[in-house]
Amino acid sequence: MTDDFELDTDDLARRMDGAIANLRTELASLRTGRASGSMLEPIMVDAYGSPTPINQVGTVNVPEPRMVTINVWDKGLVNKVEKAIRESGLGINPQMNGTIIMLPIPELNEERRRELTKVAGQYAEATRVSIRNLRRDGMDQIKRAKDGMAEDDQKFWESAVQELTDAHIKKVDETLETKQAEIMQV
């Protein structure tokens, strides 16, 4: 009956890759003392009655290593964009110049760098948990099909899921290590 059981490891891998992609997006929003347009991605502006990402109301540029500029297309939205940046919790004080908003990126002190590495660690741990949950889903599928499955087949699928999980946890650890080194770099 279940001799032809086949776990969809591609789907499991795709879902685990999605968790890692989400981690990378979250880590990109952490400020490292270097200017980056991606640090503005989570910020939404109340434009035309709905929350809109900043990159859809203006052009985001990084002209210098410590400066981000936003050239807002609609003059009526300039103040809303500035307000959204101030309230975002990034700790950046926008400077206005007509329709251009300049964001000087201040140096990070040692204490703030340590805080950011802890936040990055929390993001990574949340990703590890979601990968382990996906592992559990895969193991549950194997257990449900266990009745007519040979013990060798069961062990094969369990080890395949475990190898997939270990590989993705390793990617999370490497991504975190890279980000923490970037944050601590002066």
Query: What CATH number belongs to 9-27+109-184?
Result: 1.10.132.20
**pTM assigned to the model:** 0.67
Give residue-wise pLDDT tens across range 71-130. 999 898 899 999 888 887 677 788 998 889 998 887 778 887 888 888 889 999 999 999
Does domain 34-104 fall under CATH 3.30.1360.40? My reply is yes
Give residue-wise pLDDT tens across range 41-78. 878 898 888 898 888 899 999 888 888 999 999 898 89
Domain with CATH 1.10.132.20 in the chain: 9-27+109-184
Cα 177 to Cα 173: distance, rounded to the nearest angstrom: 6
